[in-house]
Amino acid sequence: MTVKMEDIVSLCKRRGFVWPGSDVYGGMAGTWDFGPLGVALKKRIMDAWWQYWVEERDDIYGVDAAILMNPRTWSASGHTATFADPLVECGNCHGRFRADKIAEGVSESVTTDEFRALNVPCPTCGKTDWGEIRQFNMMFRTHVGPVDDDSSIAYLRPETAQGIFTNYKNVVDSLYPDLPFGLAQQGKAFRNEISPRDFILRDRECSQMEIEYFVAPEKWEEEFEKLLKEQHAFLKDVMCLDMERVHGREVEEGDRAHYSKRTVDIEFDYPNGREELMGLAYRTDFDLMNIQRESGKNMEYIVKGGGARFVPHVLEPSIGVERLFLAVLTSAYAEDEINGEKRTVLRLPEQLAPYRFCVSPLLKNKPELVAKAQEVYALLRQKYGNVTWDDSGNIGKRYRKQDEIGTPKCVVIDFDTLEDGTVTVRDRDTTEQVRVKIEEL
């Protein structure tokens, strides 16, 4: 079905999934806060990723590096020199924009003359009086310690990846895993985006889940294909995305990041159009060689049993949590009609839904029903953890609310429960109701 961004944004706000950051003070562009249901969904997405890539595999290990890193990290990685977007300013209204985002079919390396020749109207005032394009570095700068001078400059990390590369040697020295092996990390990344936009798609503060997969240089193509297939399997089987919205795109040389020899972007048809959901990049030995040069430490891997020595090459699957979160919501969002009444339903997979069950007494003012319902609630909470209680409004309203937040099953305790120990279990997607014995729940 066609899903509109405003419907998702409105649902997120209404039900407590996502709000603008610092909302009470009028917001702060490019930042978002996750409410109780949003944080539950986000956490389940992140946990499912961790379980799939780290806990269920023997070849990928986790790390959790500091966000603040020695600034030499960013000169070695090339971010200080090249992590920039083309910024252009309107000579009339002085609005500032990303040149490649306001002109159709233009790459990040567009020159001022090329851009001006396109006569793109300013999105704010409609004039075409453009200044020079300049490269705007997107790293957030700060000072570490009490002195604000050049010696105390540090950056908020723009990618989690470097915290992995800088620990590669620690992992080899302490664990000595066989090649190929991967290191995974989840955490915040910060980018001073020129124009944050499209709800949570382009943020100034986002969360990434990245794997650096270290391989023997001659094996990169074979491992690249394997990882690409596995990424698709994860998106389909674990995230349950609508795969008709998922598309792989080979990124052309001019559009690839400075470190990449091959990149396949996995794009998703979001409500506002197709956008990158994640990337799989072949980073060669670019990062480890740079660290070796900058630190003077040897980054070679010695194959066990006195075998070959070389600096491994790296494959990097990288995904943004907010983009995955929005892809999950877009895939799950639906509107249908039940007995002539319209409803909104989030068909979230059971393993991602904020709540797995909602437990209710049919009537709130009957103490014997409430007491029995509390018993069932305690039982299910003990068994599954993520169970909610709802005794507000009438039962129809409760179902509508639980449908909207994606709760797969509602369990209702009524007078028959007191007689025969069965409850009504109502299914979110089919709305079918069945009677089930409490001990069989």
Residues in contact with ligand GAP by CB under 6 A are 159, 161, 191, 193, 202-203, 206, 208, 210, 276-279, 316, 318-320, 322-323
Nearer to ligand GAP (CB atom), residue 318 or residue 402: 318
Q: Shortest distance, CB of residue 16 to ligand GAP, whole angstroms?
A: 21
Token output for 398: 């409760």
In terms of DSSP bridges, do strands 409-413 and 357-361 run parallel, antiparallel, or are they unpaired? parallel
Nearer to ligand GAP (CB atom), residue 161 or residue 227: 161
Nearer to ligand GAP (CB atom), residue 190 or residue 355: 190
Nearest residue to ligand GAP on Cβ basis: 320
Nearer to ligand GAP (CB atom), residue 71 or residue 320: 320
Q: Shortest distance, CB of residue 42 to ligand GAP, whole angstroms?
A: 13
Q: Shortest distance, CB of residue 260 to ligand GAP, whole angstroms?
A: 9
Nearer to ligand GAP (CB atom), residue 83 or residue 301: 83
Q: Shortest distance, CB of residue 101 to ligand GAP, whole angstroms?
A: 12
Nearer to ligand GAP (CB atom), residue 187 or residue 279: 279
Nearer to ligand GAP (CB atom), residue 322 or residue 404: 322
Which H, E and C letters describe the chain, residue by residue? Answer: CCCCHHHHHHHHHHHCCEEECCHHHCCCCCCEEECHHHHHHHHHHHHHHHHHHHHCCCCEEECCCCCECCCHHHHHHCHHHHCEEEEEEECCCCCEEEHHHHCCCCCCCCCHHHHHHCCCCCCCCCCCCECCCEEEECCCEEECCCCCCHHHEEEECCCCHHHHHCCHHHHHHHHCCCCCEEEEEEEEEECCCCCCECCCCECCEEEEEEEEEEECHHHHHHHHHHHHHHHHHHHHHHCCCCHHHEEEEECCHHHCCCCCCEEEEEEEEECCEEEEEEEEEEEECHHHHHHHHHHCCCCCEECCCCCCEECCEEEEEEEEHHHHHHHHHHHHEEEEEECCEEEEEECCCCCCCCCCEEEEECCCCCHHHHHHHHHHHHHHHHHHCCEEECCCCCHHHHHHHHHHHCCCEEEEECHHHHHHCEEEEEECCCCCEEEEEHHHC
d(CA 60, CA 183): 5
Look at the block and give the residue holding tokens 């702060």.
28
Report whether 353 contacts 311 (CB < 8 A).
no
Nearer to ligand GAP (CB atom), residue 135 or residue 344: 135
Token output for 51: 């379980």
Question: What count of Cα atoms within 13 Å lies in the side-chain half-sphere of residue 322?
Answer: 24
How many Cβ atoms sit within 10 Å of the Cβ of residue 281? 22
Q: Shortest distance, CB of residue 221 to ligand GAP, whole angstroms?
A: 20
d(CA 39, CA 193): 24
Q: Shortest distance, CB of residue 265 to ligand GAP, whole angstroms?
A: 7
Nearer to ligand GAP (CB atom), residue 208 or residue 388: 208
Nearer to ligand GAP (CB atom), residue 45 or residue 277: 277
Q: Shortest distance, CB of residue 191 to ligand GAP, whole angstroms?
A: 5
Handedness of CA 374, 378, 383, 389 (dihedral sign): positive
Q: Shortest distance, CB of residue 198 to ligand GAP, whole angstroms?
A: 9
Q: Shortest distance, CB of residue 188 to ligand GAP, whole angstroms?
A: 11
Nearer to ligand GAP (CB atom), residue 137 or residue 318: 318
Q: Shortest distance, CB of residue 60 to ligand GAP, whole angstroms?
A: 16
Q: Shortest distance, CB of residue 308 to ligand GAP, whole angstroms?
A: 28
